[in-house]
Each structure stands twice: as C-alpha cells, then as structure tokens.
Amino acid sequence: MSSYIASPKDGVAWITGASSGIGKALAMLLAREGWKVAVTARSLDKLEAMAEEAGSLRGSIMAFPGDVTDAREMERVVEAVERALGPLVLGVLNAGVYLPVKGEDLNVRDFEKSIAVNLLGTVNCLVPLSKWMKESGKGQIAIVSSVAGYRGLPTSAAYGATKAGLINMAEALKFDFDRMGIHLQVIMPGFVDTPATSQNPFPMPHLLGVEEAAEKIGEGLKTHSFEITFPKRFTYQLKLLRMLPYRLYFAAVARATGWPKKK
C-alpha cells in the first residue's frame, strides 16, 4: 500500500469540475488549509471569481480552464500547473455530469456524453497526472465516483455505468499505483445538495450540504483508505443492498424509490 498522504508543503493540489458544487467547496476548503489549488472546469468566469474569493485565505486558488473531454488539453493543463505553481502532489478528479435516462426514451447521446465526461474525461486527466507523479515517485489521486456505481438504480443507466466503471478502473489500477508510490482513492458520495441534484424530482435520503460533503472528503484525503464514502448511514444501507440477490434487490429498490411498475 502506498503510504503517501499529500501535504501542502510538498506541492500543489489540482481539482477538476471545480467551478461549482462539490469541486468548488473542496477547492475553498483546501485553500483554507493552506493549499495552492489549481482549479479546472469550462467556466473561466466562475473559476476566476473563486480565485478572487480565496484571496484572503492561507492558501490560494488559480484558474486553469479546460474541458476534460479533450485529452491534449488536459495534458497541457497538467504541464501548465506544474510550470506555474510547482509539483502536483494531489489530484481530485471530480468533473462529472448526471443525465437521467428513462428506458422508454433511450438515446445514444446521453450515454456518449456521460462516458465522454465522467469516464474518459477522468482518464484524460489521470494519464498525464499519474505520469508526472510516477516520475517524482509520489502523489495522491482521488477519483470521484458515486454510490450510483454500486448497483443499477432507476434513471442511472448512463451515469451509474460510468461511475461503476470508475470504481472498477481504480480498483484495477491500485495494484500498480501502490508500486509507483501513488496513493489512489475513490470518493463515493451519497446525495449532496449541488446544482447537479437540485432538479431531482425524487426525494433524496440523507441529503448532505455541499460544505459538509467537502469536509468529509477533506478528512478522507488525510487517510490511507482506498474508499471515501459518506454519509455512512446511507452508504452502508446501499452496501447491504448490493449483497442482495437480484429478485430481492429489484423489489427493495422499487419500493424504496416508489418506482412505478406502469408508465
């Protein structure tokens, strides 16, 4: 197991999908803790506003705008961060989209976009980031997945597939990253109150505020755990569901979500 826990005295943190929601709250938290934080998303105006907002904090925030679906652009961002701020020792690969899918309206576009941003977008960042860290012999990378990656949930056919893919990918890479001195983690939040969830038409049990979610992630980043998941009461219930045989699983989820059998 890689024993490395990144610290602001060693170098810089990079957060993708940092212009709103969980990424933004985490960037502000790390800057309060004294980190130099490089932030990436497509909305330059929002990133610059955050950089200004962080002006009075112990650390700082600097904008490196970009689209995670563009692999070359992510390579350039990683290079630019290292050049401008110093060695990257912590990466939180958080950019993601949630596109609800209904079986009755299946279309390829929702899957293409979800895979491009959530799965390939993460890989586009992971490749140059882990390359730099391999050369320096140390680093810490946390990939933001979701409890929706545990098992299939209503509306989550595209989103859940990408988040399950991220969990599997991280499990597979951990064997090599440990050898490379890179501490790899997967973050699996339950429901967090962000722009992505504000339109959800269904009740969200154990919904957490975004600041509280950022604190849980901040705490998890200081541990050797592979998995950072919260709120525990909710995620443990979902883990138990994961163990059920299919017949019981589908019945339990349909009942818990009030999912109608008929249109």
Least distance CB 141 / ligand NAP (angstroms): 14
Which one from 4, 150, 159, 249 is the annotated catalytic residue?
Answer: 159
Among 48, 53, 67, 227, binds ligand NAP (CB under 6 A): 67
Is there binding between residue 196 and ligand NAP (CB under 6 A)? yes
Among 2, 20, 237, 257, binds ligand NAP (CB under 6 A): 20
Distance CA(115)–CA(32), nearest Å, equals: 33
Please name the residue that has the structure tokens 């959800």. Answer: 200
Per-residue three-class SS string for 120-173: HHHHHHHHHHHHHHHHHCCEEEEEECCHHHCCCCCCCHHHHHHHHHHHHHHHHH
Q: Which is nearer to ligand NAP, 23 or 231 (by Cβ)? A: 23
Least distance CB 131 / ligand NAP (angstroms): 20
| Residue of 259, 173, 258, 187 whose CA lies nearest to 220 | 187
Report how far apart, in Å, the C-alpha atoms of 249 and of each of 15, 67, 77 are: 35, 37, 43
Q: Are strands 60-63 and 88-93 parallel, antiparallel or unpaired?
A: unpaired
- Give the bridge partners for 140, in sequence order: 90, 183
Among 96, 160, 165, 231, binds ligand NAP (CB under 6 A): 96
Find the part of the chain contacting ligand NAP (CB under 6 A) among 104-112, 132-140, 184-192, 230-238.
184-192
The DSSP letter of residue 192 is: B
Q: Which is nearer to ligand NAP, 65 or 181 (by Cβ)? A: 65
Judged by DSSP in three states, 87 sits in coil
Least distance CB 181 / ligand NAP (angstroms): 26
Is residue 159 among the annotated active site residues?
yes
Is there binding between residue 195 and ligand NAP (CB under 6 A)? yes
Is there binding between residue 42 and ligand NAP (CB under 6 A)? yes
Judged by DSSP in three states, 204 sits in coil
Among 124, 130, 140, 146, binds ligand NAP (CB under 6 A): 146
Contacts with ligand NAP, residue ranges (CB under 6 A): 16-23, 41-43, 67-69, 94-98, 117, 121, 144, 146, 189, 191-192, 194-197
- Residues annotated as catalytic are 159
